[in-house]
Amino acid sequence: MSVPDFQLKHFLDEQVDIYNSPTFIPNDPISIPHRYSDKHDIEIMGFFAATLAWGQRKTILQKCSELAERMNNSPYSFIMKNDPGELKPLVGFKHRTFNDTDLLYFVDFLHRHYQLYDSLEDAFLTDGLFISIENSLTQFEKKFFDHPDAPKRTRKHIATPARNSTCKRLNMFLRWMVRNDDKGVDFGLWKRIPQHALICPIDVHVDRTARQLGLITRKQTDWKTAVELTENLRSLDPNDPVKYDFTLFGLSVDQKNGYKASPQFG
């Protein structure tokens, strides 16, 4: 990193206190699962919100709200009925390249999974055990498409480290479900995946700020870059490295805070 750890940690910790706040919720996709109190509904709508989280945030929230309404605002109940007639409201849904073919397969996977397990967390574990986030994401992608009728077109919507993807959306979903603090943003529902093992979600905003701060040195942005970033963040907080996701994203996007990279962080 380009600056002493203690300087960078002090700077980022100050910013975390600003961005890791309930005021962060309303305009972020995490606001979608926050509408629910049932664990299953939170998992399902969190998964969909993370999956659909690309493009303008206003549009993302609109499409997630539309999807929730198509499922009668009771996603777990809707999915577990899984009667062909009950799925008709999903036909015609579309957000960018995600369409109703993808949606119907997502619903089919969730239905099959919840028939066997009480939590979506199990889909990220190996025989109920956590090994690593890389293993969790790799195995999740394999489990998700372990069906003879899985549409080929849907594969682009579930990333995997095996394809060297940053897996931004799935890492964000895991952050929502696993991180647990007293700020009320992330849910902390899942206990078998350790918080310290999470990988920081990395998009253009996080990437830009992290490079300004010397937290990324790799030229390309891929899975190895996400790991490099997280390892550097882990040196600042070994127990909760991805809390800095709020800061790296917020500093880049939230213009009302008037952020400009400090010269000392180059």
The average pLDDT across 36-55 equals 97
Query: Among residues of the chain, what percentage have pLDDT more than 70?
Result: 92
Q: Which residues pair with 194 in a beta bridge?
A: none
pLDDT bucket at 37, cuts 50 / 70 / 90 = very high
The average pLDDT across 111-140 equals 97
Determine if the pTM surpasses 0.85: yes
pLDDT bucket at 266, cuts 50 / 70 / 90 = very low
**Res. 224: pLDDT tops 50:** yes
d(CA 141, CA 146): 9
Burial annotation 7-35 (CB, 10 A radius, 16+ → b, else e): ebbebbeebbeebbeeebeeebbbbbbbe
Q: Where are the domains of the chain?
A: 5-265
pLDDT bucket at 227, cuts 50 / 70 / 90 = very high
Residue that has been written with the tokens 């929230």 in this structure: 61
Report the pLDDT value the prediction gives residue 261, as an integer from 0 to 100: 46
Q: Are 210 and 202 in contact (CB under 8 A)?
A: yes
The average pLDDT across 35-63 equals 97
**Model confidence pLDDT, tens digit, residues 138-175:** 999 999 999 999 999 999 999 999 999 999 999 999 99
Mean pLDDT value across the chain: 92
Report the pLDDT value the prediction gives residue 84, as an integer from 0 to 100: 64
Report the pLDDT value the prediction gives residue 262, as an integer from 0 to 100: 47
**Res. 235: pLDDT tops 80:** yes
pLDDT bucket at 254, cuts 50 / 70 / 90 = low
The average pLDDT across 54-66 equals 95
